[in-house]
Amino acid sequence: MSGRQQSVSVGLVVGALGVVFGDIGTSPIYTLQTVFNPEDPHPVPVSAEHVYGVVSLIFWSVTIIVTVTYVLLAMRADNDGEGGIMALITLARRLGGQTRGRRTAAFLAGLGIFGAALFFGDSMITPAISVLSAVEGLKVVQPSLAELIVPITAVIIVALFLVQRRGTAAVGKVFGPVMILWFVTIGGLGIDGITRHPAILKALSPTYAVGFLAGHFDIAFFSLAAVVLAVTGAEALYADMGHFGRRAITRGWLLLVFPACILSYLGQGALVLQNPAHVASPFFLLAPSWLRLPLVLLATVATVIASQAVITGAYSVASQAAQLGYLPRLRVAHTSAEQIGQIYVPWINWLLMVSVLTLVFAFRSSAALAFAFGMAVTGTITITTLMFFYIARRKWRTPRWVLIGGGAVLLLVDLLFVGANLTKLVHGAWLPLLIALTAFTVMTTWRRGREIVTAERKRQEGPLREFINRLRTDPSLTRVVPGTSVFLNRGKETTPLAMRANVEHNHVRHEHVLILSIETQPVPRVPDEQRITVDDLGYADDGIVHVTVRFGYMDTQNLPVALRLLDPGTTEGAPQLDQASYFLSKIELRRGDSPTMADWRKRLFIATSYITADAAEHFYLPRDRTVIMGSHIEV
């Protein structure tokens, strides 16, 4: 490996530490004390047996769910480098070949969409509870500052979302060193705690976790609703894979994050065994008195950073959902020339900011949001596990006995967490389910509406070659005028609606007609010599050609500049693109009487269509030479 590759790899690992691991890496602050919280509807009494059992449950939950399910297994199932549940949906649909396979893939895709919807709920709740819990640390420093917690939280959240436009790489470089300090600190404090009561290392044995569940199931089962806090952020590791790559995330987790978190949990457990009264705040009490104030300040910064993981994960999920047709085309800004997955989605950014601020002002404390925290995570984890085993069977032909054995163990763990969190339904777990149901309804409605519109649009467009043949055989349909017209279209099989409308209503076409399709390649930039491909469609003498323009994901998609490559400048009769007119096919959606969808879903579909990115602005078309034409389509 070259020095440059090594530096890039180290930079990506540092960036991943700052962006990806914030949520799961700050869980040691509150997980253990939440398990033994006396105000919990199902409290866990403090005893040596329970402490060993809970610490063992935490260790094996993190090991099984994060290390095995996500880092070692799920992250191997990627869609062109992208991870997350939307990548699994793509793979499942791609692998569903036969009729039976298609039905299973369709069912799993629907389940996956609900998992993605749950992740959107997590993306809203996590920043709210993380930043609130961080700022609430001010009460430890100065109790009189309690009234300022919510306003300060709001300011921090606004600032956090404002810096997102600079990209995850820039954010990661700032946050990365802070998180490295954080993990080294909590790991060191954990080691110090273990030295005080080394017997806590026995909790690493699975017999303590199994014994706790089997011998005290009535207590251990309810404790899982708080133990799950140790794995919140697991889905973000997978969803953020496109931002930093599997290797960077795997190295960061195995070499630093996982050991540091486990050492912290073991140290806290040792402290509680030494003095049960320390269960009120075992994380901070691990530190000597002189270090507690700096630790509170470092924890405040680290928990603010924690929300970054789900924010970037939400960008990835939304971008992939739009590509799969579950959301309208969103404006996506690529922020790195090295990693295609490092993106910024403005619409999602502002939606999340408003949602998080709403939760902060509505709940006003992290404790009020605590019971809602695990429901979204456990649901998404379970769905991810199911989909991964389907893909393992279909793609890699993994033997059935391996899938049945391994799947039974992983799904049993996942379902225990889901069941435990369902017991908190009336205490706040309803919130992520409500958010997920709303997001699921929007996404499935958009996909269904898009299918209806696509079918009707294809019918209205008609075959392109048939349309051109009509123009050739019946010149009276239109007259040819000087100049060049450019029609944006999805491909070269159907007629652009704007072109059909121009001919049928204005009875005119330009001397040169370019039907233009755009392809985005999975490379940062496309060189000029590979930018343009021309197909004369067999009608070169008629001046009608199809042009494919290719852009890299870091290229500015400026069509007028790209089309200059077509104009040699001196060839007589060539298209004069500096004065070309651009025609966009615009569809105006209307509610119809056809029984395609329920009336409320038609209204929702039409309302969702308004967030679609503006094509003229996106492709830098000159406004004074851009004509928008099209037709109405009823849904």
Calculate the alpha carbon distances from 380 to 112, 174, 417, 581 in Å.
8, 29, 11, 48
Query: Among the listed ranges 2-6, 98-102, 156-160, 182-186, which one has the minimum average pLDDT value?
Result: 2-6
Which pairing describes strands 626-634 and 581-590: parallel, antiparallel, or unpaired?
parallel
Q: What is the pLDDT of residue 569?
A: 42
- Give the count of alpha carbons within 13 A of 562, CB side only: 27
How large is the average pLDDT for residues 493-512?
83
What is the average per-residue pLDDT within 363-372? 75
Question: Given this model, what pLDDT does residue 170 score?
Answer: 62
Would you give the end-to-end CA distance of the chain in angstroms?
56
Cα→Cα distances 470→161, 164, 458, 545, Å: 54, 52, 18, 16
Strand order in the sheet with 626-634: 532-535, 544-552, 508-521, 479-488, 581-590, 626-634
Provide the pLDDT for residue 521: 73
- pLDDT exceeding 70 applies to what percent of the chain? 90
State the DSSP code for 622. -
Regarding beta strands 532-535 and 343-344, do their DSSP bridges make them parallel or antiparallel, or are they unpaired?
unpaired
Contact in structure between 20 and 339 (CB atoms under 8 Å)? no
CA distances from 351 to 356, 611, 612 (A): 9, 12, 14
Residue type, 210: V
- pLDDT for 137: 67
- Cα distances from 405 to residues 109, 398, 409, 416, in angstroms, run 24, 12, 7, 17
The string of pLDDT tens digits covering residues 269-294 is 999 999 998 888 888 889 888 888 88
Percent helix, percent strand, percent coil in the chain, to nearest 5? 70, 10, 20
> What confidence tier does 416 reach under pLDDT thresholds 50, 70, 90?
very high
Distance between CA atoms of residues 342 and 237, nearest Å:
14
Looking at residue 252, what is its pLDDT?
92
What φ, ψ does residue 549 adopt, rounded to 5°?
-110, 125
pLDDT, tens digit (0-9, with 9 covering 90-100), for 538-589: 766 778 888 999 887 557 788 888 888 875 543 345 567 788 889 887 777 8
> Which has more pLDDT, 110 or 167?
110
Alpha helix (H) residue ranges in 464-545: 464-473, 497-506
The ranges assigned to domains in the chain are: 3-449, 462-634
- Whether the pLDDT of residue 522 is over 70: the answer is no
Mention every residue, 6+ apart, whose C-beta is less than 8 A from residue 515.
464, 487, 489, 492, 496, 499, 544, 545, 546, 547
Residue 502: exposure state from Cβ atoms within 10 A (0-12, 13-18, ≥19): buried
Per-residue confidence (pLDDT) for residue 571, from 0 to 100? 35
Tokens of 621: 């078309």
CA dihedral sign of residues 66, 69, 71, 75:
negative
Locate 111 and state its tokens. Answer: 């389940």
Token digits of residue 78: 């990627």
Q: Please determine, for residue 5, whether its predicted confidence score (pLDDT) is greater than 70.
A: no
pLDDT tens digits along 219-257: 999 999 889 989 988 877 887 787 788 888 999 999 999
- Give the DSSP letter of residue 372: T
DSSP result, 107-118 = HHHHHHHHHHHH
CB 140 within 8 A of CB 296: yes
- Select the more confidently predicted residue: 142 or 259: 259
Q: What percent of the chain has pLDDT over 90?
A: 23
| Phi-psi map region of 462: left, alpha, beta (phi>0 left; psi -120 to 50 alpha) | left
Return the minimum-mean-pLDDT range out of 51-55, 263-267, 378-382: 378-382
CA 88/CA 91 separation, integer angstroms: 5
The residue count of the chain comes to 635
Q: What is the pLDDT of residue 604?
A: 92
Task: Tell me the mean pLDDT in the region 295-319.
Answer: 80
Q: Is the pLDDT of residue 474 over 60?
A: yes
Mean pLDDT value across the chain = 83
**How confident is the model over 92-100, as a mean pLDDT?**
65
Residues 6+ apart with CB under 8 A from 115: 85, 379, 380, 383, 384, 387
- How many Cα atoms occupy the beta-carbon half-sphere of 254 within 13 Å? 11
In this prediction, residue 1 carries a pLDDT of 38
Tracing tokens 């060539």 back to the chain, one arrives at 574
Please classify residue 388 by burial: count the beta carbons closer than 10 Å to its beta carbon, then call 0-12 exposed, 13-18 middle and 19+ buried. Answer: buried
Strands 544-552 and 532-535: antiparallel
Mean pLDDT score, 116-129: 85
Fold adopted by 3-449: Amino acid/polyamine transporter I (1.20.1740)
Q: pTM for the complete prediction?
A: 0.77
The CA radius of gyration of the chain, in Å to the nearest whole number, is: 28
SS3 label, residue 519: strand
Residue 592's SS3 state is coil
**Strand 532-535 and strand 508-521: pairing?**
unpaired
> According to DSSP H, which parts of 197-288 are helical?
206-215, 217-227, 234-239, 241-244, 246-252, 258-274, 282-285
pLDDT digits 0-9 by tens, 25-83: 988 988 898 889 887 788 899 999 999 999 999 999 999 999 999 999 988 887 777 77
In terms of average pLDDT, the best of 52-56, 139-143, 362-366, 438-442 is 52-56
Average of pLDDT values for 141-159?
A: 84
